[in-house]
Structure 1
């Protein structure tokens, strides 16, 4: 009896898979696809999720296509590096919902700006956008500097070494910065040898990525019986617990100040303009006259924490590795900083200083071209739509392969060469804006991109003023890997030499 039930179950699952496969095939048969096996789909091509973006490029080149159909479990995804299709998708006012994979972020980010849809997204986006005005962001430059000072001290311990991995130091610095700017608290991740909060942030990224590439874990009924789910719950208890306690504390402080009928001081005891963290702005914001709930605030703070931590840390680290291995570029960036700061390695940056770092800004753009923090992102069709003669069915997931179009020689000649000058005004006229999309584009572009750029400029300039960056010995070749962000699976190793003041 049990054998008959098992056979019936297997036949039923295989029948349903065939139905789903041919459903998508009937719409998308003109789009090339690697061989799809029952249940696992194209999974054999993606045995190692870390190699997913490189695998997609290899397959696209193999089939001589800019769009690729991939089957994962009972679903199909079309990944594309086609410029016109990307422009169509990112400019659309209707194809705005995030892809299936983003649902794996919801236990952590809830209905924050990254994953929310419809009217909830529109109202929250409208409310949050003003908080990233440059006059508000300017107040955080002191936070960049103070945490950068700790970073410099940590890096100095590696002077004289022929090789060390810089990424762990950058990621802890970025976490300290985002906690202070988002929640107004210092978690001292750089100073504590083992930060539980930092560990949980890192583990959540790994859990989300692992679940995304395992079709069996897409289903909550299976996932909730896995060790991965239990690990996720422990991490969320730490992350949400910390955020909830800070929200409650700050809400009580605001009520206390209101009961005293005193206007909060706009400057600190030293006369400096008082920093207002992102959380405090949310606590004082409203939608249609009502204040945000604690859950809404937590979702947005968590989203800001995720979006502004690993992504920025990866960008800074890839830039350091690229500068270390391109001495001409590094020297040009350093000479620009000497014109701004002279030989003063300690003077804090000002907002005007950051605006003068024109060449370093080109370095950041070239870094994000080669190593976009989000190597691909996805959209879901809320209804059938037709593009270039192909009808994409409702609920279809479409992926935008930023990593692919950034390395396309049609838009960036000699794409593997690190050449910041390609983004100078005389070389990059902006006529193909959707060929460079590290922060996405269109209605759902990254609201925090200006914040990220300022943090990267401040941190990189501080490091370059203090150290000359050298290639690791022996030579270190990056093993680019797609996690929830793009990173290097074998670290980002460089060497340092102290710069001497003259």
Structure 2
């Protein structure tokens, strides 16, 4: 967003604490239907705590947006004059310059919703996805061997930084990430409102009903993924994707309200996982049955994931 909050060095960041606190509060409320009515939740539940944390989150993003909006023209002219090279704009800058079909800029409320989505749901989901992927890679040496071979083909024995072209060439790593998300989607469920009467398996579902979609179960449909509990990244090679139903695999949701950051998430995972695999061999210290996934806002292992890292010899 073009704003530094030093979250990694400041372990007592109020914004970061409120992000995690809100995740816990929302998850608890979802599991307690008697707290769904606002007046009951505010009087008997954590309503006041919810509002206090929400105020911190919204105040922070609102302040960042206002500051950026006031200075964006100055920053653009400064970046253009910097040795004649135009710098890349922050995501927030692009939102501030975005217009609709009528040429109107997005309102600050519209922008705040997008920023909150990126800030609130854009870090923990990716971290969880990489967590599961590291375990699966460490538990399947044959997959890890193919990944390290791909690393050698792309990077050789160099330790240069990863660039955009490298990301395009890490095709098997992308298959591994997708298969990890099939087995352990970061968001274990999401909801949609039905906007017209329809039939599902012969049952009439009326307009206005709420549908809960559970990718964790959907991704285990043997009609689309034979032997669904097996970790097989080859499922996502182009030749094996042919004819598969487009909604059989939806770790980032689907349709008009799909995840705004799914491409960025895959790129981020590729960079970090490739950096680990270029330098280390990974060994899983747990069996999959011992992980006990917890379906909260984010799908997490109950007791965390334990791995061993062994420094690699780059010479193959």
Give the alignment's TM-score, normalised by structure 1.
Answer: 0.58
Of 328, 334, 342, 2:142 maps to: 328
2:46 counterpart of 1:228: yes
Note closer, same or farther for the CA distance 1:397–1:405 as it changes in structure 2 (3 Å cut).
same
The equivalent residue for 1:435 is 248
Superposition deviation, residue 388 in structure 1: 4.9
Tell me the distance in 2 between the aligned counterparts of 1:423 and 1:352: 20
RMSD across aligned positions (CA): 2.4
SS at 1:204's partner residue? helix
The answer for the alignment partner of 2:128 in structure 1 is 314
Q: How many residues align?
A: 314
Residue in structure 2 matching 1:303, options 90, 101, 117: 117
Aligned-residue offset at 1:365: 0.9
Alpha-carbon deviations, 1:45-65, whole Å to 9, x = none?
A: xxxxxxxxxxxxxxxxxxxxx
Shift, 1:254, TM fit? 2.2
Matched, 1:454 2:267: yes
SS in 1 for 2:240: coil
Inter-partner Cα distance in structure 2 for 1:228 and 1:486: 23
| 2:136–2:284 Cα contact (<8 Å) kept | no
Runs of 4+ in 1 over 6 A off after TM superposition: 473-476
Mapped pair 1:422 → 2:235: yes
1:199 corresponds to 2:17: yes
| More RCO (CA 8 Å, sep 6+) | 1
Question: How far apart are 1:394 and its partner, in Å?
Answer: 3.3
Mark the CA change 1:328 to 1:273 in structure 2 (over 3 Å): closer, same or farther.
farther
SS at match of 2:241: coil
- Contact 2:196/2:207 (<8 A) preserved: yes
Aligned position for 2:306: 493
Equivalent residue number for residue 151 of structure 1: none
Indicate conservation of the 8 Å contact 1:372/1:438, yes or no.
yes
Write out per-residue CA displacement over residues 202-257 of structure 1, whole angstroms, 9 at most, x where no aligned residue. Answer: 22122112111211111001111245222222322322222122112111212546
The one of 274, 289, 292 equivalent to 2:106 is 292
**Does residue 348 in structure 1 map to residue 161 in structure 2?**
yes
Q: Which residue of 2 aligns with 1:214?
A: 32
- Provide TM-score, normalisation by structure 2: 0.90
Instruction: Give me the whole-angstrom Cα distance separating, in 1, the residues matched to 2:30 and 2:206.
Output: 21
2:290 is paired with a residue of what secondary structure?
Answer: coil
User: Is contact 2:79–2:85 with CA below 8 Å preserved after alignment?
Assistant: no
Q: Which has the larger radius of gyration?
A: 1
Structure 1: stretches of 5+ with no match in the other structure: 1-182
- Partners of 1:430 and 1:364 in 2: how far apart? 21
Determine helix, strand or coil for the equivalent of 1:447. coil
Q: Which sections of structure 2, spanning at least 5 residues, go unmatched?
A: none
**Greater shift in the superposed pair: 427-436 or 403-412:** 427-436
- Distance in 1, matches of 2:85 and 2:173, equals 28
